[in-house]
């Protein structure tokens, strides 16, 4: 199967290298290059190196707009199967050279930036759909398969199937990326998040071992769940090479609703009541007044609901939705269609950064009992950072016990005299993230709901996890004693 080439989100000048991260830069020696050449295809082409030096982290867009590449890998390797991935890892462990796994590079936290240079491990060559078990509703797929290709393949079988995982990055992201970052799709209330969909993995470890985790039965009680140990590990503990995921028959019916509330808190309360009653509409999203005006041209707090299911289940779900939003102002269903049409549009990011306007999103999660108060506190913190122009919020994923809030901030930093514009942007950007996360950690919220940690959020992991961060570090040291696996991500320190 031919996989699409992820589009470049911005122009790159590969001849400009700016060292920004510290740590011990890893050089690919001639001996290691020969060893890797014997395993799989490799490249030192300037364009390939530059492409593998970035993801969709907004700060990297600012760098590229200024013609900079902050950290180039020394070599791109492109394995074609799990054995080749394992051999690459073993060779790099022996040479103490860092490995940065990547594929679609759709992440927004700097997770695939090769902070120390070294080797970029491109997993797009692992692009096979290995098995579809229609009777058990399972698919086994390699990590480099892109979401649209997987859905197209499943949709062509019989009356059609779906995984139901549709993140905003759907066109650019791979199955391995979904799992590595513990992602959540836009239809998650119906189908679950990626950790709910996966039943087993194949993983290559730093020392060259290949292991499988579960997947042979719907559940097992044979010690801790090792599948979930690697989901969300962002290539720091091992490299996922394939996965077995749950699938669903294509839904037979769909329904849509739209309504508006006078306050964001009233909308949150309606969502809480819907989930409390056991209804799980695929999409239930609430936008504050700022985002409602920008997205729907409505001066209120807009709620959109979309569900797809068996007609009997659909009718029951929408009956609950209708009861719980009965006191809201009904809107036309066309607002749902508008969201569907524009939901993955991010084409304004690069122009804003080129004009030195900083923009990013912070997605978090919290309990219902104080979610509205946490929302207000984060917005106040963001608006209190000098240079902030706008801070807004929407709710995007809901549970019986809480929900995900998705904050957007926009700012134009004022450079200090003699300060480089990029430095001013970084200073403002860090201040905004620091302000928001101070609130989140104080209030016990999750500092990430589905974007993961990468490089950008690493400094918040220890205060967020507390003593558990030390346990995570001990596990890292056991599985990756040489510290080669995606260093500087997920809160792990860069080797000096």
Where among 66, 96, 122 does a domain terminate?
A: 122
CA distance 461 to 467: 11
Where among 122, 152, 173 does a domain terminate?
A: 122
- Tokens 């009680």 locate to 221
**Do 245 and 134 sit in the same domain of this protein?**
yes
**Do 323 and 228 sit in the same domain of this protein?**
no
Specify the CATH number for the domain of residue 170.
3.30.465.10
Where among 232, 249, 266 does a domain terminate?
A: 249
What is the number of domains present in the chain? 4
Strand order in the sheet with 42-43: 42-43, 75-77, 119-122, 99-102
**Do 145 and 244 sit in the same domain of this protein?**
yes
Task: Find all residues with CB under 8 Å of 297, minimum gap 6, and list them.
Answer: none
CA distance 99 to 178: 19
**Do 316 and 391 sit in the same domain of this protein?**
no
Give the model's pLDDT for residue 6. Answer: 46
**Do 232 and 176 sit in the same domain of this protein?**
yes
Residue 48 is assigned to a structural domain of this protein: yes
Give the model's pLDDT for residue 61. Answer: 82
Beta bridge mates, 284: 305
CA distance 433 to 98: 27
Q: Give the up-direction half-sphere exposure of residue 235: CA atoms within 13 A in the CB hemisphere.
A: 33
**Do 141 and 188 sit in the same domain of this protein?**
yes
**Do 444 and 370 sit in the same domain of this protein?**
yes
**Do 118 and 222 sit in the same domain of this protein?**
no
Give the model's pLDDT for residue 481. Answer: 96
Specify the CATH number for the domain of residue 88.
3.30.43.10
CA distance 384 to 368: 25
**Do 242 and 160 sit in the same domain of this protein?**
yes
Residue 9 is assigned to a structural domain of this protein: no
Pairing of strands 75-77, 119-122: parallel
Give the model's pLDDT for residue 82. Answer: 98
Pair 33, 92: CB distance under 8 Å: no
Token duo for residue 118: 């070294």
Give the model's pLDDT for residue 70. Answer: 80
Specify the CATH number for the domain of residue 292.
3.30.70.3450
Q: Which of 193, 189, 167 is nearest to 398 (CA)?
A: 189
Q: Taking the alpha carbons of 146, 167, 381, 399 in that order, is the dihedral positive or negative?
A: negative
**Do 240 and 173 sit in the same domain of this protein?**
yes
Give the model's pLDDT for residue 219. Answer: 92
**Could you write out the three-class secondary structure of the chain?**
CCCCCCCCCCCCCCCCECCCCCCCCECCCHHHHHHHHCCCCEECCHHHHHHCCCCCCHHHHHHHHCCCECCCCCEEECCCCHHHHHHHHHHHHHHCCCEEEECCCCCCCCCCCCCCECEEEECCCCCCEEEEECCCCEEEEECCCEHHHHHHHHHCCCCCEECCCCCCCCCCCEHHHHHHCCCCCCCHHHHCCHHHHEEEEEEECCCCCEEEEECCCCCCCCCCCHHHHHCCCCCCCCEEEEEEEECEECCCEEEEEEEEECCHHHHHHHHHHHHHCCCCCCEEEEECHHHHHHHHCCCCEEEEEEEEECHHHHHHHHHHHHHHCCCCEEECCHHHHHHHHHCCCCCCHHHHHHCCCEEEEEEEEEEHHHHHHHHHHHHHHHHCCCCEEEEEEEEEEECCCEEEEEEEEEECCCCCCCCCHHHHHHHHHHHHHHHHHHHHHHHCCECCCCCCCCCCCHHHHHHHHCCHHHHHHHHHHHHCCCCCECCCCCCCCCCC
* pTM of this structure: 0.95
Residue 480 is assigned to a structural domain of this protein: no
**Do 160 and 199 sit in the same domain of this protein?**
yes
Name the residue range of residue 236's domain. Answer: 129-249
Residue 478 is assigned to a structural domain of this protein: no
Specify the CATH number for the domain of residue 383.
3.30.300.330
CA distance 220 to 216: 9
| pLDDT, one tens digit for every residue, the chain (496 residues) | 444 444 455 555 555 566 677 777 899 999 999 999 999 999 999 889 988 998 999 988 888 777 788 889 999 999 999 999 999 999 999 999 999 999 999 999 999 999 999 999 999 999 999 999 999 999 999 999 999 999 999 999 999 999 999 999 999 999 999 999 999 999 999 999 999 999 999 999 999 999 999 999 999 999 999 999 999 999 999 999 999 999 999 999 999 999 999 999 999 999 999 999 999 999 999 999 999 999 999 999 999 999 999 999 999 999 999 999 999 999 999 999 999 999 988 777 778 888 889 999 999 999 999 999 999 999 999 999 999 999 999 999 999 999 999 999 999 998 888 888 888 999 999 999 999 999 999 999 999 999 999 999 999 999 999 999 999 999 999 999 999 999 999 999 888 6
**Do 199 and 224 sit in the same domain of this protein?**
yes
């Amino acid at each position: 199967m031919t996989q699409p080439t992820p589009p470049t989100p911005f122009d790159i000048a590969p001849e400009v290298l700016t060292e920004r991260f510290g740590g011990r830069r890893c050089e690919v020696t001639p001996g290691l290059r020969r060893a890797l050449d014997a395993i799989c295809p490799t490249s030192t082409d300037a364009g390939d190196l530059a492409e593998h030096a970035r993801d969709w982290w907004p700060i990297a867009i600012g760098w590229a707009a200024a013609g900079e590449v902050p950290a180039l890998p020394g070599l791109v390797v492109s394995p074609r199967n799990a054995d080749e991935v394992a051999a690459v890892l073993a060779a790099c462990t022996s040479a103490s050279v860092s490995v940065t796994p990547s594929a679609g590079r759709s992440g927004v936290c700097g997770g695939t930036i090769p902070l120390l240079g070294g080797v970029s491990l491109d997993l797009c060559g692992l692009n096979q759909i290995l098995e579809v078990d229609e009777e058990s509703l399972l698919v086994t797929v390699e990590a480099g398969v892109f979401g649209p290709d997987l859905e197209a393949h499943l949709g062509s079988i019989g009356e059609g199937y779906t995984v139901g995982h549709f993140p905003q990055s759907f066109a650019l992201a791979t199955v391995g990326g979904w799992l590595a970052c513990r992602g959540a799709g836009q239809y998650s209330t119906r189908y679950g998040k990626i950790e709910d969909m996966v039943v087993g993995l194949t993983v290559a470890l730093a020392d060259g071992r290949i292991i499988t985790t579960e997947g042979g039965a719907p559940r097992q009680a044979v010690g801790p769940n090792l599948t979930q140990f690697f989901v969300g590990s962002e290539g720091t503990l091992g490299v996922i090479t394939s996965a077995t995921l749950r699938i669903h028959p294509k839904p037979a019916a769909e329904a849509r609703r739209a309504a508006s509330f006078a306050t964001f808190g009233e909308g949150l309360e309606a969502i809480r009541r819907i989930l409390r009653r056991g209804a799980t509409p695929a999409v239930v999203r609430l936008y504050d007044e700022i985002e409602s005006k920008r997205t729907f041209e409505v001066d209120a707090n807009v709620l959109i609901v979309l569900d797809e299911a068996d007609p009997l289940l659909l009718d029951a779900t929408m009956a609950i939705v209708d009861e719980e939003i009965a006191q809201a102002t009904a809107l036309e269903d066309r607002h749902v269609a508008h969201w569907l049409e524009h939901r993955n549009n991010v084409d304004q990011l690069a122009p804003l950064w080129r004009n030195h306007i900083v923009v990013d999103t912070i997605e978090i999660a919290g309990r219902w009992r104080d979610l509205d108060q946490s929302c207000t506190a984060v917005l106040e913190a963001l608006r209190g950072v000098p240079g902030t122009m706008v801070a807004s919020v929407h709710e995007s994923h809901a549970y019986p016990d809480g929900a995900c809030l998705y904050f957007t901030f926009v700012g134009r930093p004022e450079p200090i005299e003699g300060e480089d514009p990029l430095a001013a942007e970084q200073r403002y950007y860090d201040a905004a993230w620091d302000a928001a996360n101070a609130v989140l950690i104080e209030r016990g919220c999750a500092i990430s709901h589905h974007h993961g940690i990468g490089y950008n959020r690493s400094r918040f992991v220890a205060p967020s996890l507390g003593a558990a961060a030390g346990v995570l570090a001990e596990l890292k040291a056991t599985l990756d004693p040489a510290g080669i696996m995606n260093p500087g991500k997920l809160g792990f320190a860069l080797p000096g």
